């Protein structure tokens, strides 16, 4: 594994406070990377973060990391197809698809030819879905491997690099952008206010931001604690609940127009897999498609009653 696997003590990425209340301890039961980590709740603002943090975050993403892999899973393909349909359907159909499959959320009606930016695009499935629906969609992705896979699939609209680096180099296509999407990305970001501030400045008047993150206050998270599959230590640096996600978005200059809990397919069986393995690396049965399909109705139901493993927020620039 290339890179530096050393770590350093973390501070709250919003208020800068160190220390705080220890919520739980956990290992990387998903990928088996070394070390034990804590979730710390900031004593000042109550935002939860991983402690310690990686010195080189990229080194903690194994070569087989699913979001960067060459093969497209059945669930990823289904999400891409649902998003493409939502991107070209009427508002009622799009809303129904967003409820059924959170990855298909468009945050509102999609006019023909909208400019869409996917921040943390992975291998570009959402970018292709929006382009298939007739929109001018682009993605940014820091993983060279993920961008390589996108190119192999004929997707030349995913740009390699962080949002900050691409903006600094002038490599990002001209905006402003009507829709900016961050699906399961903000929890990986070491400075959420800076990233959200950059996104705010890129949005067109009336444009919208769609943010999806794991929900550390979900029923499964509280029940399985350090075995919860949404922790993904130490790649997830910040851990959000409803209040902290709303507050961070507000601090960055956004007005939240909607927020709900959602299912995260596979998180519940993955958590039970890790829990029954004693908190060590999952044995793999939680990733099996039949198990995921059987668990999804329960995950979906928990999302409907406010206990889902994911949070999905739609926000616009305040004022």
CA distance 80 to 29: 27
* Residue 257 predicted with pLDDT over 70: yes
Residues 6+ apart with CB under 8 A from 145: 63, 68
Q: Which residue has the higher pLDDT, 90 or 169?
A: 169
Beta-carbon contacts of residue 164 (< 8 Å; ≥ 6 apart)? 194, 195, 198
Q: What is the pLDDT of residue 1?
A: 46
Whole-number pLDDT of residue 126: 94
Residue 286 confidence (pLDDT):
84
pLDDT digits (tens, 9 = 90+) for 122-163: 999 999 999 999 999 999 999 999 999 999 999 999 999 999
Alpha helices in 203-283 (DSSP H): 219-224, 242-251, 267-276
**Residue 164 near residue 194, CB atoms below 8 Å:** yes
SS3 string of 21-56? EEEEEEECCCCCCCCEEEEEECCCCCCEEEECEECC
Altogether, the residues listed in the chain come to a count of: 319
pLDDT, tens digit (0-9, with 9 covering 90-100), for 160-190: 999 999 999 999 999 899 999 999 999 999 9
CATH superfamily of 63-317: Vaccinia Virus protein VP39 (3.40.50.150)
Alpha-carbon distance 61 to 33, whole Å?
A: 9
**pLDDT at residue 64 greater than cutoff 80:** no
Distance of CA 34 to the CA centre of its chain: 23
Token pair belonging to 16? 């800068």
- Give residue limits of the domains in the chain: 63-317
Burial 160-177, CB ≥16 within 10 A → b, else e:
bbbbeebeeeeebeeeeb
Most confident of 59-68, 91-100, 295-304: 295-304
Q: What is the pLDDT of residue 24?
A: 96
Mean of the per-residue pLDDT values of the chain: 91
3-class SS of residue 305: coil
How large is the average pLDDT for residues 75-87?
A: 81
């Amino acid at each position: 594994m290339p890179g530096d696997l050393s770590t350093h003590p973390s501070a709250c990425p919003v208020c800068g406070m160190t220390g705080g209340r220890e919520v739980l301890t956990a290992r990387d039961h998903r990928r088996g990377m070394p070390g034990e980590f804590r979730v710390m709740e900031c004593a000042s603002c109550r935002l939860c973060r991983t402690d310690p943090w990686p010195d080189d975050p990229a080194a903690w993403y194994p070569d087989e990391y699913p979001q960067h892999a060459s093969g497209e899973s059945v669930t990823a393909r289904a999400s891409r197809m649902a998003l493409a349909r939502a991107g070209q359907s009427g508002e009622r159909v799009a809303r129904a698809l967003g409820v059924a499959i959170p990855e298909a959320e468009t945050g509102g009606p999609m006019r023909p030819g909208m400019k869409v930016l996917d921040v943390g695009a992975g291998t570009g499935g959402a970018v292709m879905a929006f382009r298939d629906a007739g929109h001018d969609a682009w993605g940014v992705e820091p993983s060279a491997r993920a961008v390589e896979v996108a190119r192999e699939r004929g997707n030349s609209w995913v740009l390699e690099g962080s949002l900050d680096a691409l903006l600094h180099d002038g490599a990002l296509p001209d905006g402003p952008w009507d829709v900016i999407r961050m699906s399961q990305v903000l929890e990986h970001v070491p400075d959420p206010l800076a990233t959200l501030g950059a996104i705010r400045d890129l949005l067109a008047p009336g444009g919208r931001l769609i943010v999806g993150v794991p929900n550390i206050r979900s029923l499964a998270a509280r029940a399985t604690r350090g075995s919860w599959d949404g922790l993904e230590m130490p790649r997830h640096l910040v851990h959000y609940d409803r209040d902290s996600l709303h507050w961070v978005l507000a601090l960055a200059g956004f007005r939240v127009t909607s927020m709900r809990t959602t299912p995260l397919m596979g998180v519940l069986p993955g958590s039970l897999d890790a829990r029954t393995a004693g908190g060590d690396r999952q044995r793999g049965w939680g990733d099996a498609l039949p198990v995921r399909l059987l668990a999804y109705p329960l995950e979906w139901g928990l999302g409907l009653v406010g206990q889902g493993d994911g949070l999905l927020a739609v926000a616009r620039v305040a004022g």
